[in-house]
Structure 1
């Protein structure tokens, strides 16, 4: 029986994809490169800023101190996050229907400084009663490692088998499944065909059927 819903942040609660695309383009343009979204975006999703720098250094063959470049990436997108971040369409109505009926939290690989900016703008801490869990709690082991989701379940005193994760990326889906949790994928960032490892794939929050998730969980428990 599902009693806990774990939300990823970017692409699931908050709409940051356009911001990141702008940021990557600027970062790479400074080095004389054009941002190839189709090729690079899948490699960056779910990574920390520093991990993303390593990905781009390898993909575009440029040098530089990783931590310094990670700070540059953060600086580029900081103003964009402050002024342009919004909730994903459909999230607030969906959250209103599950709040109080399920334990809820955010578990994210998002950079903590940027997350704080978004929190100030959208008041996520109040919405989730401060149940926002980040990679520093699990030694910065990012998805597809399942640790962030297992940590969230532990904090909420929930069994992994009673949790459903809502994700938008293959790495996150993999992490949820490795944690022993059900997973609903929303095609906000990737096309549906790239999300087929999830238990359910939907185009929007309006299509989520938690009763169907519960049915699968009950069958699995039997």
Structure 2
């Protein structure tokens, strides 16, 4: 059975940008004091800013409004750092064109906010391909909850079983599994061994040049 839709995570999947998020959070932690830096910070780099800040500082350190303001400042630092270097992973532009030519519906599902998403989609010229964009502000629960992927499928008008998710982190693959979706893994930030416990993975690749779209989609 051919697949009808592809759903893409953004950070680490469409672009190799996690170092810039890390440096922006590290700068923010140094400003706040008492946070994490270096390798100790890396495992916490997922989810919405309030979720990350609660993991690092514990509950009660900041109000929700304060955490949202801190998150906005951090995202500003991130865009300043990354904006001059935005580029897609190898092969993605051609892959998106090929998917559109085959009438595969395309969506983005990410924990990033709208300004970050717009920066990437506009600067790389791929905004036209996507009929659904689900941001951090569009869901109540971040990955590994399946809400992001299920909302994307609904917006594209397809069943979860008709979707393939493209992800780079285990929590995103778990979210796809819980949504009833197959997954392609990009090894941008994690090794293939870190995904051994998942049974919804079709293939694991370094970038989009390694994918045969007809074979993948079942045409």
TM, length-normalised to structure 2:
0.83
The farther-off stretch of 187-196 and 197-206 is 197-206
Gaps of 5+ in 2: none
- Following superposition, the deviation at residue 123 of structure 1 comes to 3.8
Give me the whole-angstrom Cα distance separating, in 1, the residues matched to 2:121 and 2:191.
28
Gaps of 5+ in 1: 216-222
- Following superposition, the deviation at residue 35 of structure 1 comes to 1.9
**Distance 1:100-1:144 versus aligned 2 partners, 3 A rule:** same
1:35 to 8, 30, 37: 37
- Following superposition, the deviation at residue 206 of structure 1 comes to 2.3
TM, length-normalised to structure 1:
0.82
2:106 to 98, 104, 107: 104
Look up the SS of the partner of 1:158 in the other structure. Answer: coil
Give me the whole-angstrom Cα distance separating, in 1, the residues matched to 2:122 and 2:207.
26
Look up the SS of the partner of 2:158 in the other structure. Answer: coil
Q: Is the 8 A contact 2:36 2:56 kept in 1?
A: no
Q: Is the 8 A contact 2:9 2:110 kept in 1?
A: yes
Give me the whole-angstrom Cα distance separating, in 2, the residues matched to 1:8 and 1:32.
31
- The alignment yields a C-alpha RMSD, in angstroms, of 2.5
Residues 12-43 of structure 1, C-alpha deviations (whole Å, 9 max, x = no match): 11232121122122223332666233x43233
Q: Is the 8 A contact 2:99 2:213 kept in 1?
A: no
**Distance 1:162-1:134 versus aligned 2 partners, 3 A rule:** same
Match of 2:211 in 1: 208
Count of aligned pairs between the two proteins? 209
Match of 1:76 in 2: 77
Match of 2:118 in 1: 116
- Following superposition, the deviation at residue 67 of structure 1 comes to 2.5
